[in-house]
Structure 1
Amino acid sequence: MTARISNVTFHAADPGALARFWSGAMGYPERVGWPAEEVAELKEAGLSDDDIAARAEAWDGDPTHQRFYFTRYDHQRRQRNRMHIDITPFDDRRATREELEVERDRLVALGASVEKTLTGSWGPYEEFAIMMRDPEGNEFCLQ
């Protein structure tokens, strides 16, 4: 048996809004909430509408695609993220700078912000990435 990533989890002030951003970023269907039968089970177990709204997901239901999970966190962040995710517009090839700039603009229109552009080299390989933040300030890189 080997481990696999089941979720990438974010603490969020507004889980639903952050789920909508990441659904748009990843090309997943727009989040419309939890299935009615699941909401009924949660309410029967004693959860309130606010309890249910404290969690959200961005996922297209495909088990080969990454699921993003959001849970309400009301405390102030004490330090910068110690890890972040890297995303790319293609799964079959490396994006050009021009393609990354187009994707950057699409993500900004969804609510992301640009932190800085990273350029350099690693040995003979050119490195180019755009460090960004989602609407709640979580770092990610577009590369």
Structure 2
Amino acid sequence: MSNDTRFAEFEPLNDLEQDLLAAHTGEMDTVEFMQRMAESQVALLVDQEFAESQHPEGVQPLVLQGDDGEGLLAVFTAPARGYPVTEEHPEFAFSVEVSFAWAVHSTWDGMGVVVNPGWAVGFTVPPDAVRGMKGGEPRLQ
């Protein structure tokens, strides 16, 4: 996926992506960026559409496999970032916006988070860091 030219250009689409790009280039401290990320809305790709008023029982988010075989919840800093990924994973054609904190807390034990998979600007939060975010510092609310 990363060799796909659609993923090479990264023009920020919102404030979170401007901060992500600044952190990526070293213009913003990583800790400061993660604090902003913790307070932000992100997009998940899911396998079915549902109304906002519905409780999303049975809805499965896109989980990719990391280099070490661990599950990585795919999170996108803007809904449009996920659309090219749906071509490779057509069963996850629907996007839903959630808080990053909710996304982190919805992971199971041993799961990490990958932000903007395939894109030139993104990152992976390994499972041990996700575990720390869920139960220790930094505290996500």
- TM interval, shorter chain, is under 0.3
- More helix, by proportion: 2
State the structure with more CA Rg.
1
Structure 2 length-normalised TM: 0.27
User: Larger RCO: Structure 1 or Structure 2 (Cα < 8 Å, ≥ 6 residues apart)?
Assistant: 2
